[in-house]
Chains A and B, each alone.
Chain A
């Protein structure tokens, strides 16, 4: 099997996994979903580190370092803010709607 076909296979299967997984997310969590997905594409940081590590000219190094900064902002900020939001959803409150509560 040629290399390109292997990559195409991974690409298409990942696409199906993505849609499959997302379609089960409740609309309550759509904002954290967007910011979480956002954080995941921050993995471009990996690519930024690689190309910067192989930079041969100063200009390449500078551009690479800018890419590293941008990608870190994307990745770290994305995961932290998603966590902050999800924390609010996991915090359970005692039910306040029980009609008998205050009358007792």
Chain B
């Protein structure tokens, strides 16, 4: 195929690449984002249609059928998924993309072993695509299983894990070198298998709150895989698109890691050292102050300034709509209410914004952590709904806590704190929250949707 791409096709590829850049650029404002996404989709479709019109492809009917099947699966999955399950879906889509890239590279390897004089660099790129694509595929599937709670979401560590990881890693490097020096299908296939093992071992020890970062990292992996695949296939649009995703994924991963006050290597390998699994994961029996919905309604209705801290528990209870009604009602009583969104609230970055947007909360009311943190001092009441770790002062006060160093929302600085919780079970990170036992804290136990409904009625009746 090398050099065989006609100029007009290359121009179409350039068009598609520009579309992808515009798609990402569109996301800088919520108003233009949807149009940007449509432009990106247009670029992708045009680029894929064009391949049928040059070169002489065989099996066209079979390929079209496969596209229809894949399109149907993707479309139905994308329409049916609940917004709370978005992280799983993204992980799954990312995994299949990585898997596809690895298979493409394997087939290309089969093609090149018949030809003499293939550049070593092309073979290196092939090996990279096979390996990282498989890692991404297997890693994403494990991530999916963790998020979907098909398996425990806590870190899975067994005694031989560091050794197994090291052995697989060395094995992968050796096989990758073999692909370059003595290209053969069996070496490539073995490399793919080792990649799968490596992917599983990479994600298993990552627990709870760190899983979102892994999704982002694997997304970057798949991007780079596709970029390398572009080099192998001599295809510019794959190279540009893959690199864009790789760069953005890496950037986003670092952003999230710093939002949690951790380094990416610490997140991936912390559990291996036994550092991030301190959380006991058990409920405490220390005394707390709890109250009924009516008391909380009074507390809220006579406040001047209220800040709501929503967490994933809110979404699980499907209580976003009730919460919005309550906030609207308080707004009508001249109470200033904002939502404080922690960067890692929910199960992936920006997840909470999506969940609240679904409940038609205007995005102007959603305030970022750095923006709203100085205002907690003036808040009369902070209402924490289904969140825990993001307001846990242990992040500031307890060195050695798994979340130590993570920037948190300063809910502890408010005059009153109300926690809406199902039980005393700790949060995703599995550690106890001192704020729950603070004298200014009131706990309201129960299902978030039901309890918020009662608070709503309480405020209405005042």
A residues with CB within 8 A of B: 4, 7, 10-11, 14-19, 21-55, 60-61, 63-93, 95-97, 99, 101-103
Contacts and interface: CB of A to CB of B under 8 A. Distances in A.
A14 B110 contact: no
Interface stretch (B31-39, B308-316, B427-435): B31-39
Chain A binding surface SS class: helix
A69 B37 contact: no
B342 to A, nearest CB: 10
A89 to B, nearest CB: 4
Contacts of A31: 86, 90, 348-351, 353-354
Interface stretch (B266-274, B281-289, B328-336, B409-417): B328-336
B245 interface: yes
B122 to A, nearest CB: 9
A84 B78 contact: yes
A60 B31 CA distance: 45
A39 B40 contact: yes
A51 B57 contact: no
Contact of B70 (A30, A73, A96, A99): A73
A60 B83 CA distance: 38
A15 B246 contact: yes
Given A37-B219, A68-B70, A69-B66, A45 B101 contact: no
Given A21-B248, A31-B86, A47-B101, A88 B354 contact: yes
Interface in B183-237: 215-216, 219, 222-223, 225-227, 229-231, 233, 235-237
Contacts of A78: 74, 78, 93
Contacts of A82: 37
Interface in B405-424: none
A79 B38 CA distance: 8
A73 to B, nearest CB: 4
Nearest to A35: B90
Contacts of A84: 78-79
B177 interface: no
Interface stretch (B16-24, B292-300, B376-384, B447-455): B16-24
Given A40-B44, A67-B103, A47 B66 contact: no
A70 to B, nearest CB: 4
Nearest to A88: B357
A6 B242 CA distance: 16
Nearest to A28: B353
Given A41-B226, A72-B69, A65 B251 contact: no
A4 B251 CA distance: 26
A40 B244 contact: yes
B30 A38 contact: no
Nearest to B119: A4
Interface residues of B, number: 113
Most chain A CB neighbours (cut-off 10 Å) among B93, B216, B226, B362:
B93
Nearest to B243: A14
A73 B30 contact: no
Interface of B: 1, 16, 20-21, 23-25, 27-31, 33-34, 37-38, 40-41, 44, 47-48, 51-52, 55, 57-60, 62-63, 66-67, 69-71, 73-75, 77-79, 81, 83, 86, 89-90, 93-94, 96-97, 99-101, 103-104, 106-108, 110-111, 119, 121, 215-216, 219, 222-223, 225-227, 229-231, 233, 235-252, 328, 331-332, 334, 337, 341, 343, 348-351, 353-354, 357-358, 360, 362-363, 365-366, 368
Most chain A CB neighbours (cut-off 10 Å) among B248, B251, B337, B366:
B248
Contact of B24 (A21, A27, A86): A21
A26 B94 contact: no
Nearest to B20: A40
Top 7 A-B pairs ranked by shortest CB distance?
Answer: A72-B70, A53-B57, A77-B74, A18-B247, A30-B350, A74-B97, A14-B243
A96 B330 CA distance: 10
B106 to A, nearest CB: 7
Nearest to B89: A81
A63 B106 contact: yes
Given A70-B96, A70-B103, 17 more contacts: A14-B243, A18-B244, A21-B21, A26-B30, A27-B343, A32-B27, A37-B248, A41-B97, A41-B225, A43-B237, A47-B226, A50-B1, A51-B233, A73-B96, A75-B97, A78-B74, A91-B360
Contact of B44 (A14, A39, A70): A39
Nearest to B106: A63
A74 B242 contact: no
Nearest to B224: A41
Most chain B CB neighbours (cut-off 10 Å) among A28, A43, A73:
A43
A76 B90 contact: no
A34 B349 contact: yes
